[in-house]
Amino acid sequence: MVSKPHGGRLVDRVVKGKRREHLLEEARELPKIELSFDRAVDVEDIAHGVYSPLEGFLVQEDYLHVLYDMRLSNDIPWTIPIVLDVDPTEIEGVKEGDDVALTYNGNVIAVMKIEEIYGWDKKEYARYVYKTTDPGHPGVAKVYSMKELLIGGPVDLVNSVPNPLDKYVLWPIETRILFREKKWRTIAGFQTRNVPHLGHEYVQKAALTFVDGLFINPLIGWKKPGDYRDEVIFAAYEALIKNYYPKDVVVLAGLRMNMRYAGPREAVHHAIVRKNFGCTHFIVGRDHAGVGDYYKPYEAWEIFQEFPDLGITPLFIREAFYCKKCGGMVNEKICPHSEEHRIRISGTKLRKMLQEGKTPPEYMMRPEVAQAILKFDNPFVT
């Protein structure tokens, strides 16, 4: 069975019809808060149920519970504080209980009821969420650049944030219908922000042996320079699915969600999100959502022991490599040969080859996938 949404009910705060017209009219007179791209994306994800059971940005009680206990105040597992930061000047004259219009690029996207205005300690946030206060960590650097106050309360989405990749996006309400139509009872979610190499394919196909369907869900949105462009990731996956997967066992759809690089905590967050999409299982990478050497190997696996009530089954599939002696993709559990026979797939090496316009060897990447990537003049974010 398609999984139950986290917290038992799929949140839907997308306003339509007469109520939308009424809210848009009302918004003209309301105080305005201009959102960054990241926060505008959070508003959309809340409204479409990606972050169920959240109805809006966290109030202080929930914020502190999530920060210290990795649970909401009602004890539902939740690991990443979803917060809206503001400067005191932006909310001058606004008090708790007031409505405000949230804008992006000057256009109203949502109306928010402010339930609480409160201060926060950015260093404390970094220490607990990222396990480091080092501004060299990209997630920590983002937190340090955020504003002085937080506001909590429910949001109602009245307009979408423009998205050039909209054709690739499916929301939880849509995937749940799709999985049911396909009669999939078990679905493994796979998150990525990279083009697929043979190691990814190995892990995905290992998961597919246990479940009815695979949901490949690339993140689109904020990326670091040097990351693959979103269109490139989709073109690469389309080539892989067309040439190397049985018909009708894969759904490929994008999700615009902020990448926080919070390692273990974010691994759990990503599992919860895929539970909301209807997945019963979630493939967790060895260094899931990690960056640099901030997290220990397999730390992203160990954290799941703290959440027996998560409601989605994590799949821990060991990293694959090519073994010259075995003559194929294997992992440490099934290959008896020494390191000299093993070729590990390095994402950095792959990037370098593709940057130079070279086709990687077939034990690293399928030729059709490489061709799909090399059709782009510049496959990388600059």
CA 325 to chain centre: 37
| Residue 175: count of CB within 10 angstroms of its CB | 23
Structure tokens at 204: 């995905």
Give residue 96's identity as a one-letter amino acid code: E
Q: Which amino acid is at 277?
A: F
DSSP codes joined into one string, 309-364: T-SSEEEE-PPPEEETTTTEEE-TTT----GGGEEPPPHHHHHHHHHTTPPPPTTT
What are the angstrom distances between the C-alpha of 159 and each of 104, 106, 362? 10, 12, 45
Contact 13, 155 (CB under 8 A): yes
Q: What is the dihedral of CA 25, 26, 31, 33, to 10 degrees?
A: -70
Catalytic residue among 159, 194, 318, 342: 194
H or E stretch including 34?
Answer: strand 32-34
Residue carrying the six token digits 């160990």: 302
Tokens for 169, please give them.
């996006």
Displacement of CA 348 from its chain's centroid (Å): 22
**Residue 93 vs residues 100, 112, 193: alpha-carbon distances, Å:** 11, 16, 42
What does 158-209 look like in DSSP terms, one character per residue?
-SPPP-TTGGGB--HHHHHHHHHHTT-S-EEEEEESS---HHHHHHHHHHHT
Rg (CA), the chain: 21
Out of 20, 127, 193, 342, the active site residue is 193
Q: Which residues contact residue 235 at a Cβ distance below 8 angstroms, ignoring those fewer than 6 apart?
A: 372, 373, 375, 376
Helix 347-355 vs helix 367-374: crossing angle, to nearest 10:
50
Instruction: Give yes or no: 193 in active site.
Output: yes
The 10 Å Cβ neighbour count of residue 101 is 22
Active centre residues (catalytic) = 193-194
